[in-house]
Chains A and B, each alone.
Chain A
Amino acid sequence: MTTAVGNLSIAIQRRFGRQRLRKIILGSIPFAVMITIWHANTVFEWLPPVFIPPIGDVWEAIFFLQEDCAGFVALVMLDNSCLITTHVFSSIGRVILAAIVGLPLGIAFGILCGMSRTLSKFLEPVGVFANSISGIAWIPLAIVWFGVGWVTTLFIMLNTIFWLMFFNSMLGVRSVAKVYEESVLTMGGSRWDVIKQVYLPGAMPSIITGMRMSMGFGWRALIAAEMIGGDSGLGFMIFTSAAEFKIEEVFLGVIFISIIFMATDKYLLAPLEKWTVERWGLVWRPT
């Protein structure tokens, strides 16, 4: 038995490397301590359960919220009886929708402005100003325009994503050395060739960084928008649960928000950024 454990540990060490294994183990210690303290609080009640809910309650809240869910079809149709999945899916749905619409739009406008000096002279200050009205400050006006609901929350996220993407793509295109553009043109390339073969790959690292940044800011803005001007989504859920003092549901929502955000960033956006910088980084950094 002990040799089996020993073999396993050696196998894991071979697979991940001793250093990484050490980091994984070390890194999980504070989380374990945090959960232990959390649980100890339930046992000893230093803080009442109204302020810090027992771990068990948070876990049970999932099933409580899903209780009335009438099967798989209801779950997929975002039936209101499936509370937690409805909120999770409607948040994620907005993120995906905003990404599909906002990212390409921002990139396209950004590249266009990066190419034309005159255009960017006018649109750059607009971009600076729009980025400065940090996403969430649009919420009240969006409510006036679109009422409380899907459109408002989607608008807030789109607005946040678009301007960040626009700005990063524009800066990315501008950082591409003029020589590359000229060389394609002298070889008889068209304007479209220049965009495809010079600007897009040249601005790629900046665009991907912008993507990661805009999804981060966009996700934060979305949660705020759902709280103030939404009628569904995780932000809406934790806000209404807080109003009813159902703290276990608030904790559940916050944990969901953090996990979804971190997973997207760590397993999708960060590797994408790393890959692009490694692949295209040389084009980007002239020094």
Chain B
Amino acid sequence: MDRLWWHFQQLLKIDAMNLVILVIVVLIGWTIISETIPNPARYLPSPLAVSLSSVDMLVKGLLPSYYSDTLVRLIIGSSIGLAAGIPFGLLLGLNKTVADMFHPMMNFFQSVSGIAIFPIVVIWWGNSDTTVLAVILYTSFFPIAFNVLSGVREIPIRYVNAARTMGASKYQIMKDVLFPGAMPHIATGSRLSIGFAWRAVIAGEMLAGRQGLGWMIFTGQDADRTAEVILGMVMIGLTWIILDHYLLRPIEADTIERWGLVQR
């Protein structure tokens, strides 16, 4: 018995094994709850029901299509947001007076959540893809631009002065001093922006979409197909974990390690 317990403890030390045990425990607990409550199909379908519905949606081809819709929206929206936001932040930071001038305004816009401006945008463009994209763009542009601007403002003035005394032009200062100096902020800001964009995609699809994961969980609730709602939630959670933990966080950590030498 003791030996068995020891083996069990050894198993616990392996992270993957932990995760498997955890998932099994959660699934069993979930099944038990689902079996005991009245009307589980409406309130909490069992894991089995959820996986059956996922098979169903896979066969119909709905799940892959919704999933790719959401991902494409995220990728397009956040890449445009980042591609515009990074140079914009750098340009504002080029001149100290301009930087001081726009800092409060950028701070204001990055704090106003994209979801809050959604009703305005929906009056402008109705329930359409443009509306969803506009909200995503808004939510990803301002956090990155604000972060880059803050990053540039934190670069010690002596670095800029040193480059100026060597005869560097505005463009060379931007390329050789401001851009690398703001690198850690660019990395952090990008992760923040993409995180906000991801939430905006889901919210936007719920409110004004025609397809996508957000649309799927919203209509699932409307049509009393709770299994689809839970399936969508699991997909949303898993996607963000993979994106954040295996792509964005490592990139951010590497960048800060490589370029974050500004802090003494």
Contact = CB atoms under 8 A, between A and B. Distances in A.
Interface stretch (A79-87, A165-173, A257-265): A257-265
B241 A129 contact: yes
Interface residues of B, number: 53
Interface string B207-230: 100000010011011000010011
Interface string A228-247: 10000001001101100101
A138 interface: yes
A4 interface: no
A95 interface: no
A136 B199 contact: yes
Given A29-B101, A144-B221, A220-B199, A137 B232 contact: yes
B116 A257 contact: yes
Contacts of A138: 233
B34 to A, nearest CB: 13
Contacts of A286: none
Given A126-B22, A129-B241, A247 B123 contact: yes
Interface string A113-150: 00000100110011011101111111111011100000
Most buried by A among B26, B97, B105: B105
Contact of B229 (A144, A216, A238, A250): A144
Interface stretch (B76-84, B106-114, B156-164, B166-174): B106-114
| B contacts with A: majority SS | helix
Nearest to A251: B120
Chain A interface size, under 10 / 10 to 19 / 20 to 34 / 35 or more: 35 or more
A22 B195 CA distance: 34
Given A140-B221, A144-B43, A220-B113, A133 B233 contact: yes
A242 B116 contact: no
B244 A27 contact: no
B122 A242 contact: yes
Interface string B96-108: 0100111111001
A85 B198 CA distance: 32
A105 to B, nearest CB: 20
A257 B112 contact: yes
Contacts of A257: 112-113, 116
28 contacts: A22-B100, A27-B103, A29-B101, A50-B123, A125-B18, A126-B22, A126-B26, A129-B241, A130-B237, A132-B240, A133-B234, A134-B199, A136-B202, A137-B233, A138-B233, A141-B221, A141-B229, A220-B113, A224-B115, A227-B207, A239-B119, A245-B123, A251-B120, A253-B119, A254-B112, A254-B117, A257-B116, A262-B108
**Which 3 interchain pairs have the tightest Cβ spacing?**
A242-B119, A140-B221, A27-B104
Given A141-B221, A262-B108, 7 more contacts: A51-B124, A121-B12, A125-B22, A132-B237, A238-B119, A242-B119, A257-B116
